[in-house]
């Protein structure tokens, strides 16, 4: 087998990208912080109020104009992966507090802890499912729907 020469110097951009992702992941893992979970009505997707914990941004490269256009970030539905652009006031008000019954991942290894997470967080009562902002455990919304006369 002949080793290709110059592999140390010439790095494919793919590996640089992977390294960046790993660095971000390790940082997240060492400094667990609640990440923002937005509850939005997924109108064009599943039609329910669902957690949107990730955003996507599709950069379009216009070669002719030599510019990269960065459109507004789109919130991605955790249930159906439908992405919708954020609008002002689109977030559903969190009006009930639920306790996380999920088992967080152990700090080391990939097994889940036997302890329940127990974190409390506020969610809209209309949400079809809720996502714990600390350990990303998803569970059905156990909160009763808020009274209609409120």
Cβ proximity to Zn ion, 70 vs 81, nearer residue = 81
**Window 82-121: contact mask with Zn ion (x via CB under 5 A):** x-----------------x-x--------------x-x--
Q: Under the criterion CB under 5 A, does residue 80 sit at the interface with Zn ion? A: yes
Q: How many CB atoms lie within 10 A of CB 15?
A: 9
Kindly give the residue spans of alpha helices, DSSP state H, lying in 31-146: none
Stretch that binds Zn ion, among 2-10, 40-48, 65-73, 142-150 (CB under 5 A): 40-48
Instruction: Give min distance, CB of 32 to Zn ion, in A.
Output: 11
Q: Which of 37, 135, 141, 143 binds Zn ion (CB under 5 A)?
A: 135
| CA nearest to 142, candidates 119, 120, 125, 122 | 125
Tell me which residues touch Zn ion (CB under 5 A). Answer: 42, 45-46, 77, 79-80, 82, 100, 102, 117, 119, 132, 135, 137
């Amino acid at each position: 087998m002949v080793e290709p020469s110059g592999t140390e110097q010439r790095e494919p951009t793919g590996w640089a990208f992977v390294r960046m992702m790993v660095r971000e992941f390790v940082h997240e893992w060492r400094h667990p912080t609640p990440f923002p979970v937005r509850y939005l009505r997924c109108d064009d997707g599943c039609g329910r109020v669902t957690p949107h914990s990730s955003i996507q941004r599709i950069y379009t490269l216009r070669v002719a104009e030599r510019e990269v256009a960065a459109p507004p970030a789109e919130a991605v539905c955790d249930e159906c992966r439908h992405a919708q652009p954020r609008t002002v006031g689109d977030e559903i008000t969190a009006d009930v507090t639920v306790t996380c019954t999920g088992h967080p991942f152990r700090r080391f290894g990939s097994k889940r802890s036997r302890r329940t997470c127990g974190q409390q967080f506020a969610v809209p009562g209309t949400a079809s499912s809720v996502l714990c902002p600390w350990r990303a455990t998803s569970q059905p919304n156990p909160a009763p729907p808020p009274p209609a006369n409120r």
